[in-house]
Amino acid sequence: MSAILAASGLGKRYRRTWALRNCTLDIPQGCVTGLVGPNGAGKTTLLNLAVGMLEPTEGTIEVCGGRPAADAGQLAKVGYVAQDTPTYSSLSIADHLRMGAHLNPRWDASIAQSRIAALGLDPKQKAGKLSGGQRAQLALTLGLAKRPDLLILDEPVASLDPLARREFLQALMEAVAENELSVLLSSHVVSDLERVCDHVVVLVDSEVRVEGDVESLLDSHHRLTGPRRDAATLPADQYVVAESHTDRQSTFVIRTAEPILDPAWSVGALGLEDLVLAYMEQAARSGRAVATPPAPATRPTLEVLG
């Protein structure tokens, strides 16, 4: 499967501070990829590099087979909904759709009109009068009607209530199924990503901690609980992601491609949130860069429209 986004040694520095460092990724085409990490991890910086709003300080990034924002053709391949789901409050929904048609050569009016009708929105209504969930749905409509190869969403549901978040994510998944596009979705709410993503990137302290297919990652990570033991005594094929101890008991989150044969261990499965938190805790405890474990074998409306 070819990469929809490929980065090698990518970094962005502001004066002496690195917002992103040593980022190497190959995000597969045709997937919904979740970009997850705490606030300040570098997620928005990576997305702004991907859409060409920032230039790298070091390394390279390629999106949809070309350099981000290199020309009009490249711009047409990528849709972007920024963190505040930008719209113009004084413009009506119909005005936004007309602007989208004017700015985007691939514009599909039928997608835009059918989504607005399905949402029960009045095209004459001003964006400033919409609820937060409705504005998010309008921004998503603009991004989808652009017919991009890659749709990038930066924390699109961060300010929405649980019902509006669920409706937004459901609409996104329906659009993915209908249009076969690739999606890169940034969020620090892992439960949202767990419902929609089949690929994940965990970004902590400006560096990629782990990346891969969600199912494969969950299959290769385990929680071991048993008698107290030092991590150094574990088999070499068991990479320790996180550990905790009491006087008598040890708990490890490990990554391995091999079966766990030691009968002293109680072996438990992880959910995606457990896995992400383990890598975040690892980074917090180390206070420094942690090597990625070996894999087992602004113009607001323009950010949406183009």
Mean pLDDT along residues 72-82: 93
Q: Where are the domains of the chain?
A: 3-214+299-305, 221-286
Q: What CA–CA distance (Å, rounded) separates 124 from 106?
A: 24
Question: Is pLDDT at 296 greater than 80 in this prediction?
Answer: no
Determine the pLDDT at residue 1: 60
Three-class SS string for the chain? CCEEEEEEEEEEEECCEEEEEEEEEEEECCCEEEEECCCCCCHHHHHHHHCCCCCCCEEEEEECCECCCCCHHHHHCEEEECCCCCCCCCCEHHHHHHHHHHHCCCCCHHHHHHHHHHCCCCCCCEHHHCCHHHHHHHHHHHHHHCCCCEEEEECCCCCCCHHHHHHHHHHHHHHHHHHCCEEEEEECCHHHHHHHCCEEEEEECCEEEEEEEHHHHHHHEEEEEEECCCHHHCCCCCEEEEEEECCCEEEEEEECCCCCCCCCCEEECCCHHHHHHHHHHHHHHHCCCCCCCCCCCCCHHHHHHC
Determine the pLDDT at residue 304: 45
Q: Amino acid letter at 114? A: S
Question: Is pLDDT at 147 greater than 80 in this prediction?
Answer: yes
Q: Model confidence at 158, in pLDDT bands (50, 70, 90)?
A: confident
| Average pLDDT over all residues of the chain | 89
Q: Which of 9-13, 194-198, 239-243 has the lowest mean pLDDT?
A: 194-198
Determine the pLDDT at residue 289: 41
Cβ(182)–Cβ(4) under 8 Å?
yes
Distances in Å between the alpha carbon of 209 and those of 47, 49, 186, 206?
17, 19, 15, 9
Question: Is pLDDT at 65 greater than 90 in this prediction?
Answer: yes
Evaluate whether the domain defined by 3-214+299-305 bears CATH number 3.40.605.10: no
Mean pLDDT along residues 20-41: 92
At 43, list the tokens. 């997620």
Mean pLDDT along residues 173-192: 87
If one compares 184 and 133, the residue with the highest pLDDT of the two is 184
Question: Is pLDDT at 292 greater than 70 in this prediction?
Answer: no
